[in-house]
């Protein structure tokens, strides 16, 4: 048992209105035989103090004292039994409950902007290369898992970048590194087609037969087409 925040009730101030008992989603409060609010079981109280907002007499407050830890699962079972499934779904989760770990990054090199990369960088040797329009990573929520994982990457915007040197630079990157494959990721918007054309021209100039595939991402964040 440790020290934590929990609701405390001033019985002298409590007028028995019962508003706190309905405001408490965890079912931690009830009225006793004298019509006063009491804590049913301390492990049901999450210490958030939502009940304080509805008390008309300020009979409730949050204090820090020794108490059993809040048990979300026990509170959920209690509410399921006393109020039903819909109410049980609203029980406040415990610490860490329902939380998801941050998705790991699949980025394995830096820099990534085509203007900044070096075609001689050793990590491009024999790599599967992703050439992505800037917006694809923002539109596609699963970009790292679906497109970047297992690939090296360069990004570019065919509309806003100074693309003059890009074809020659891509051709050099392709020619010097014996790439295993190239994946081009573009958006459905018309300007993105320029990136696909640049890659096609660069492959032609490199005089290699590296396989190229194109993935198209919609502005709704869905993959519209892929090989």
CATH number of the domain at 122-225, out of 1.20.120, 1.10.357, 1.10.3720, 3.40.50?
A: 3.40.50
Residues 6+ away with beta carbon under 8 Å from 143 = 136, 137
Q: Where in the chain is the domain with CATH 3.40.50?
A: 122-225
Taking each helix axis as running N to C, give the angle between helix 166-177 and helix 193-206, from 0 to 180 degrees, rounded to the nearest 10.
50
Question: Do residues 75 and 28 lie in contact, with contact meaning Cβ atoms separated by under 8 Å?
Answer: yes
Q: What is the pLDDT tens value at each position of the chain, 227 positions in all?
A: 789 999 999 999 999 999 999 999 999 999 999 999 999 999 999 998 989 989 999 999 999 999 999 999 999 999 999 999 989 988 988 877 765 556 788 999 999 999 999 999 999 999 999 999 999 999 999 999 999 999 999 999 999 999 999 999 999 999 999 999 999 999 999 999 999 999 999 999 999 999 999 999 999 889 999 87
DSSP assignment of 1-59 equals -EEEEEEEE-TTT-----HHHHH-TT--EEE-TTS-EEES-GGG--S--GGGGT-TT--
Query: What's the CATH class of domain 2-88?
Result: alpha beta
């Amino acid at each position: 048992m440790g020290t934590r925040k929990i609701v405390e009730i001033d019985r002298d101030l409590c007028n028995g209105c019962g508003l706190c008992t309905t405001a408490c989603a965890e079912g931690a409060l009830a009225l006793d035989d004298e019509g006063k609010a009491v804590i049913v079981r301390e492990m049901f109280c999450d210490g958030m103090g939502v009940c304080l907002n509805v008390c008309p007499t300020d009979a409730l407050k949050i204090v820090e004292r020794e108490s059993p830890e809040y048990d979300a699962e026990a509170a959920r079972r209690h509410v399921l039994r006393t109020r039903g499934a819909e109410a049980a779904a609203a029980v406040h989760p415990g610490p860490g409950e329902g939380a998801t770990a941050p998705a790991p990054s699949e980025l394995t090199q830096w820099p990534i902007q085509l203007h900044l990369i070096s075609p001689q960088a050793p990590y491009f040797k024999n790599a599967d290369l992703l050439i992505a329009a800037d917006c694809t990573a923002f539109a596609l929520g699963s970009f790292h898992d679906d497109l970047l994982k297992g690939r090296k990457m360069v990004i570019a915007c065919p509309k806003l970048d100074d693309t003059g040197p890009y074809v020659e630079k891509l051709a050099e990157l392709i020619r010097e590194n014996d790439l295993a494959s190239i994946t081009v990721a573009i958006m459905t918007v018309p300007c993105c087609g320029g990136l696909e054309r640049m890659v096609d021209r660069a492959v032609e100039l490199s005089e290699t037969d590296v396989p190229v595939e194109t993935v198209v991402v919609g502005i709704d964040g869905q993959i519209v087409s892929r090989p």
